[in-house]
Amino acid sequence: MFLIERYIMVETRRLVMTIIGFLIFIFASYSTQRYLTDAANGTLALQSVMAIVFYKILIALEMLLPVGLYVSVAVALGQLYNDSEITAALASGISPVRVYKAIMYLAIPLGILVTLLSMYARPWAYAQIFQLKQQSQSELDVSHLQAKKFNLNNSGRMILSDKIDRHSQRLSDVVIYSATGSNTFLFRAHSIQVTNPAAASPAVILHAGTAYQLDHKGTEDHAQSYNSFNLHPKPIKQSTELKSKSASMAELSLSPDPADKAELQWRESRGISAILMALLAIPLSRTRPRQGRFATLLPLAVLFVLIFYAGNISRSLVAGEIIPIFPGVWTVPLMMLLVFIALIAQPASLLQKFRR
């Protein structure tokens, strides 16, 4: 490796590590605060918080790594242009191809890592998060329930208990609320004994209370008093979107569902998109002397926002069968490639300088 490539790589790599570390710290802090709030509200077990934050970071790396490289390339090359170092290097006869080559030495390994994260680590992390949430959000897991608080889960079921005996799995002075599309169910009980806290098949016995069934149309309301009542709440179901995100590559490739096809294309395109983002940052990072290395950050930020939202929109359009499967999600990487070619195919383009 020649001196110019090594120099550009060192400048860029240092920024990559700093920016990615900073982004991970910010994301981890936000996620921890969010899930600690859920734990305080009784909707998530406290012992699950750090595990879920770890899985969330693993999922987010698919986006944080390309963003870190994209910004680092723009800032590092912007500084070199501002200090006229690249201008001097080109004036001395060094080909612009070597600048692209130096960035590619960083972008290709990172693109491969992003591809592996997207294809294998991300679905595994989603599956682990669902499993943890299913276990900890079960309202029958008394280890995380809070007395005299409204304990909610994602299915909309609420449980309120005046006293909780975690050792005997018993709740006193309890109200359970749940709703479906057409009915609302309300159970009041002097006490509840948890007989099976398993998230897949929860079961309780309600003692001395009243059960209410309220018809949303107002014609079939019922009330029933009981001394002992066996209740089997429905377990938390995995959403269709989460099921698609946690599916393996083999499952997605065999599925005829357009949403699964969109998810498959999304995973396959992440690494290529990361490399193309880094390449786009090179021509966009050019600045005039003394203009400042941050002068190009605004157009770079606008371009990133366009790429980010265009990718999400294309995935939704493919999943909704609004646009065809091919090119589908690959439309955005193809457009990025065309923009990159247009940026370098100018009168003072890379190819013309290379031929001199």
Q: What is the reported pLDDT for 355?
A: 38
- Considering only 69-73, 123-127, 195-199, 256-260, which range has the smallest mean pLDDT? 195-199
Give the residues across from 179 on adjacent strands: 184
Asked whether residue 265 carries a pLDDT value surpassing 70, the answer given is yes
Average pLDDT of the chain is: 83
Domains and CATH numbers, the chain: 3-136+240-355 (no CATH), 151-231 (2.60.450.10)
Reported as a pLDDT band with limits 50, 70 and 90, residue 1 is low
Name which residue leads in pLDDT, 146 or 263: 263
Q: What is the reported pLDDT for 168?
A: 84
Q: Which tokens in the block code for residue 165?
A: 């005996």
Asked whether residue 353 carries a pLDDT value surpassing 50, the answer given is no
Closest CA to 279 of 308, 300, 310, 305: 300
255-270 average pLDDT score? 92
Q: Please state, in angstroms and rounded to a whole number, the distance separating the CA atoms of residues 347 and 69.
A: 28
Kindly give, in sequence order, each residue whose CB lies less than 8 Å from that of residue 197, ignoring residues fewer than 6 positions away.
138, 140, 141, 142, 169
Closest CA to 137 of 154, 149, 158, 124: 154
Q: Which tokens in the block code for residue 157?
A: 């079921």
Q: How far is CA 221 from the centre of its chain?
A: 42
pLDDT tens digits, 308-344: 899 999 999 998 889 888 888 999 999 999 988 888 8
**CA angle, residues 150, 156, 162, in degrees to nearest 5:** 20
Q: What is the reported pLDDT for 350?
A: 44
Asked whether residue 289 carries a pLDDT value surpassing 90, the answer given is no
Q: What is the reported pLDDT for 3?
A: 79
Q: How far is CA 315 from the centre of its chain?
A: 14
